[in-house]
Structure formats: structure tokens, C-alpha cells
Amino acid sequence: TDYIYLPSEDYFMDRILIVDDDEAICAAVKQLLCRQYRILDCRDAETALALLKTEQIDLFLLDVNLPSQNGFLLCEEIRKYSR
């Protein structure tokens, strides 16, 4: 029998939030990074801002063409929380 080792959440030091309305892009990036980081993802700016209030996020990967808000504007909002 093969066993898959899945470390606990505490093992992951850095958390990355992917904000992109394209599920295929989110899935590809998650697959690349999930072994080394805790990955969160969402499809819109509003959800990203809500997660920012409840989660410690170390890195944001933002789509600049989000459906509800420009990614650059979201970046400005995020910076308000990081200061």
C-alpha cells in the first residue's frame, strides 16, 4: 500500500492567496505550489478582501482583469491592510 504524506497546516509557513476568475489557472498554480505553501484561492476581489480579514496572507497572486474590480485597485486595497 502506498501512503501519501500530507503535512498539517502548521507545517506550511507561508500562505499564498490566488485571486483569479479562471479556475484552470487557479488549479495549475495550486498544483505547482501546494507542496511548499498553504494555498487559498478565490474568484473575485470581494472574497479576497474578506479572506484578508481572517487569514494571514504572505503573498497575493492577482489577476489584473477580475470581473468585479480591477486587480490593480484590489492591490491598493490590500496595501491598506498591510501597513
What is the tens place of the pLDDT at every residue in 24-75? 999 999 999 998 899 999 999 999 999 999 998 999 999 999 988 989 999 9
- 11-20 mean pLDDT: 84
Q: Does the pLDDT value for residue 12 go beyond 60?
A: no
Rounded to two decimals, the pTM is 0.81
Among 4, 6, 82, 73, which Cα is nearest to 44's? 73
More confident residue, 5 or 34: 34
